[in-house]
Amino acid sequence: MWFNSFGFWMFFGVVALGCRMLSHRGQNWLLLAASYFFYGCWDWRFLSLILLTTAVDYTAARNVAGLESGHPGRKRWVAFSLVINLGILGAFKYFGFFVGELERLLQAIGFTGLSPVMKLTLPVGISFYTFQALSYTLDVYRGHTRPARRFSDFALYISFFPQLVAGPIERSAHLLPQVVDPRPRCDAARFRDGLFLVMSGLFLKVVLADNMAWLVTVPFSEPVERLSAPEVLLGVYAFAFQIYGDFAGYSAIAIGVAKWLGFDLMDNFARPYFALNPQDFWRRWHISLSTWLRDYLYISLGGNRGGKWRTRRNLLLTMVLGGLWHGAAWTFVIWGAIHGLWLVAHRIWAGWKPAQAKWLNGAGWKVLSMLATFHLVCLCWLFFRAESLDQALGLLRALAGEWRWTDYAATCSALILFFAGPWIALDAWIERRNESLALTLVAWPWRFGVYAYILAMMLFFPPPMPVEFIYFQF
């Protein structure tokens, strides 16, 4: 049930109407049932997994809170949560990868006739709701939040359907009180803000991402020896806009839909392609994951305590594991490692550069920094999108090869400018004014103009075929 499908909006209309007619407790029960129905539409068999995760962390957090600080049982309950949650995630997401790598290693040293590796279907959203459940237990252990009294409230916190399958990865201190306490009704202001988010998200997904998707298939499906450098470069540009439109679009729709139901979810994107350096990029891209990795992995590894070399090690390890979170493949590991090394290099540069150098604060340097950051991010996207490490390396060789302009390159460049250009221009204006999109376009004539443009683009330039949200596979 995709956000850009008629079926979803029929489902949401029934849920929203029901919530208008019910009390707070009745709304919670309806939202819980709707969330399980929504998840069951993907594969009803995996409802048992989300119920197991909910039961494990509800029990663990209640027991942690019931013991005095310093009691050894508190750590045992946290370990129980970690083992069960990461065990389930590892079994479904990484079992085949590690067994396959072991099989290849054994074959390389002479063992043959090994049994084929069993492949498990990956439950949609498992990486997202697992991290959300883990952060709850860890926050209770650290004293950052109180455990939920009602199991049903905690179950809704884990399974709330707008952000269940692809985030944002919410924190218990932010979302759980909105579940427990009475929520505001959808008044005119909430409807207006939610509508703008939903319309923006539909543009990013349907118009930008899905129209970029078919452009991306050319360099990532053709034999690399047939590709020219411009074809690879423009294909990577197209994927950069596809993944941004796809994921930021999902997040915007999720936040907008939740707002209509009385919930305020965290922002997940803040114009990431205007970042000036890798640290700035990760403050703007997939904010709920980057802050999760910082608070629960980087700090747990020691953070910036213990000297420069340990800080750099912790930063690199965090990003490698962040890459592995996206999928069990060497391409994701290398994607994370490149980002980690880049962050380490930036820290070294930030500690070395002369603070008094005025040219480092000039507009020209900022533009160069922005362009360099965008192109290094695109280099990382090449590994992220590649089907294998061999394909990624082949595309890199093609990128350094013949500079031959082709019909595909001309078409790709024109369509990127046509579909992404207006949004880039609008984002650039907002970035310069340092205002949120909703505040910038608060006047109704501006909003209606944007809505008319979005509807016209969706009507007259639909994608060749609907494309599943990219992050559903994670």
Token readout for 118 is 């069993």
Concatenated DSSP letters of 190-208: HHHHHHHHHHHHHIIIIII
**Residues 406, 403: Cα–Cα separation, whole Å:** 10
SS3 category, 45: helix
326 in active site: yes
Identify the sign of the CA torsion 76, 80, 81, 86.
Answer: positive
Which amino acid, 297?
L
Concatenated DSSP letters of 292-360: HHIIIIITTTTTT-S-HHHHHHHHHHHHHHHHHHH-SSHHHHHHHHHHHHHHHHHHHHHHHS-TT-GGG
Give the residue carrying structure tokens 């990795």.
Answer: 293
What CA–CA distances, in Å, run from 269 to 159, 246, 247, 250, 343?
22, 12, 9, 11, 19
**Residues 156, 159: Cα–Cα separation, whole Å:** 5
Chain-centre distance of CA 143, in angstroms? 27
**Residues 54, 52: Cα–Cα separation, whole Å:** 5
* DSSP for residue 273: G
**Residues 473, 380: Cα–Cα separation, whole Å:** 19
On whether the CB atoms of residues 332 and 387 are closer than 8 A, the answer is: no
Q: Is the peptide bond before 445 cis (omega within 30 degrees of 0)?
A: no
Q: Which of 128, 143, 12, 164 is nearest to 74 (CA)?
A: 143
H helix count then E strand count, the chain: 20, 0
On whether the CB atoms of residues 266 and 251 are closer than 8 A, the answer is: no
Q: Which of 71, 144, 174, 326 is catalytic?
A: 326
With a CB cutoff of 8 Å and minimum separation 6, the contacts of 39 are 46, 47, 50, 124, 125, 159, 161, 164, 165
The residues annotated with a catalytic role in the active site are: 326
